[in-house]
Amino acid sequence: MHSFCICNNPVLPASKIYCFSPFILHKLETVLSIRNISKRYGKIQAVDDLNLEVMKGQVFGLLGPNGSGKTTTLSVILELIRPGSGDFQWFGQPPSKASRKRIGSVIESPNFFPYLSPVNNLKIVADIKDLGYDDIGRVLNLTGLYERRNSRFRTFSFGMKQRLAVASALLGNPDILILDEPTNGLDPQGIAHIRELILLIAQQGITIIIASHLLDEIQKVCTHVAVLSKGKKLFDGEVSEVLAISDSYELSAENPAALSESIKAFPGYRSATVAGEKILVYFNSEVNPGELNRFLFAQGVILTHLAERKRSLEQHFLELLRDNA
Ligand code: ATP
């Protein structure tokens, strides 16, 4: 079945990419678009000419080590701070009161009244957001806190406090949920709960943006990722694409010079590095070792060694950071 995407088509609204296939027509709506955002604190360039697109339904990870500009980026798009330059749009429009109502966020440690129950704490949040109380049961159920709805907040574990913060962000049924380091400080069980919750929320069609320095977290819950280092975007794409790039093979042959030359013509060849007697070859897509061997044999190259070396996203991430250090 063939399908194709039309982008930048003059007859279609700029904020939407339409995907056509013989059986379905659906639109991928741009939820957030960040254009050339920079933010500097004195001598520190916290965000450096950042461009990003987040589409409806994505679980989008902002991945980077401490100090790479994740929180600053989230603070800009939540209008908590102003960028030095650049701009951003929510739902194809400049940010407005209407767009703010469609966004829920958790960017600080959970902070509620310790002697009040989750229900009473959420009533206060609902009052601030100018909402009724009828959504409180739903968000407590979704976050697994309904059974504890009448306990005092101060009796909650840190994981439960974090889930209450997510419940509070979900009040009013936002289209977007923004989470900054949602599993920081949690024990393994708390981490598992939050990850399950993120997947559950994503299943409901809510677009999620998560900042994290944990690769594992991004791999487990995100569909898309942008890697940041020193405020700059190094890479972005589908998490599965990043994993697909990761194929490499270690090869050696009776005639190394012929091997180095012939391998360049193999479909998907990206680059090669010499490692002693062997060469390490990187491919842009998945490679079948049998096909690789047959191809080289047909070129007159007899392999004496062939070993697959899958690179994890982690290695890819570390290499990206090292190359940009
Ligand atoms: P972390 O996970 O540690 O919070 P991060 O990726 O979220 O890191 P930011 O908090 O955005 O990164 O910080 C980016 C850079 O900007 C860092 O060097 C940080 O020290 C600096 N920075 C952030 N906020 C301020 C501020 N209010 N004043 C001065 N420098 C700041």
**Which residue bears the tokens 């490499």?**
248
Task: Among 44, 213, 234, name the best residue to mutate to test ligand 1's pocket (greatest count of ligand atoms within 8 A of Cβ).
Answer: 44
Cα of 44 vs centre of ligand 1, distance in Å, is 9
Q: Residue 319 sits in which domain range?
A: 246-323
pLDDT at 138: 94
Q: Among the atoms of ligand 1, which is closest to the Cα of residue 39?
A: 16
What is d(CA 112, CA 125) in angstroms, rounded to the nearest whole number? 9
* Residue type (1 letter), 155: T
Residues 266 and 299 in one domain: yes
* Range scoring the smallest mean pLDDT among 21-25, 57-61, 108-112, 266-270: 21-25
Q: What does the pLDDT look like over 30-48, one tens digit per residue?
A: 999 999 999 999 999 999 9
Q: What does the pLDDT look like over 145-192, one tens digit per residue?
A: 999 999 999 999 989 999 999 999 999 999 999 999 999 888 888 899
Cα of 230 vs centre of ligand 1, distance in Å, is 10
Cα of 45 vs centre of ligand 1, distance in Å, is 9
Residues 139 and 276 in one domain: no
Residues 49 and 116 in one domain: yes
> Which residue's CA is the closest to the ligand 1 atom numbered 3?
66
- 58 pLDDT band, cuts 50/70/90, is very high
What is d(CA 295, CA 274) in angstroms, rounded to the nearest whole number? 20
For 72, residues 6+ apart whose C-beta sits below 8 A from its C-beta are 39, 46, 47, 81, 231
Task: Among 43, 48, 70, name the best residue to mutate to test ligand 1's pocket (greatest count of ligand atoms within 8 A of Cβ).
Answer: 70
CATH code for the domain in which residue 254 is found: 3.30.70.100
In a domain, 26, yes or no: no
Sequential DSSP letters for 226-284: EEEETTEEEEEEEHHHHHHTT-EEEEEESSHHHHHHHGGGSTTEEEEEEETTEEEEEES
For 117, residues 6+ apart whose C-beta sits below 8 A from its C-beta are 149, 150, 151, 152, 153
* SS3 of residue 69 by DSSP: coil
Residues 52 and 64 in one domain: yes
Q: Is the pLDDT of residue 266 over 90?
A: yes
Closest-CA residue to 208 (of 67, 55, 97, 79): 55
Report yes or no on whether pTM surpasses 0.85. no
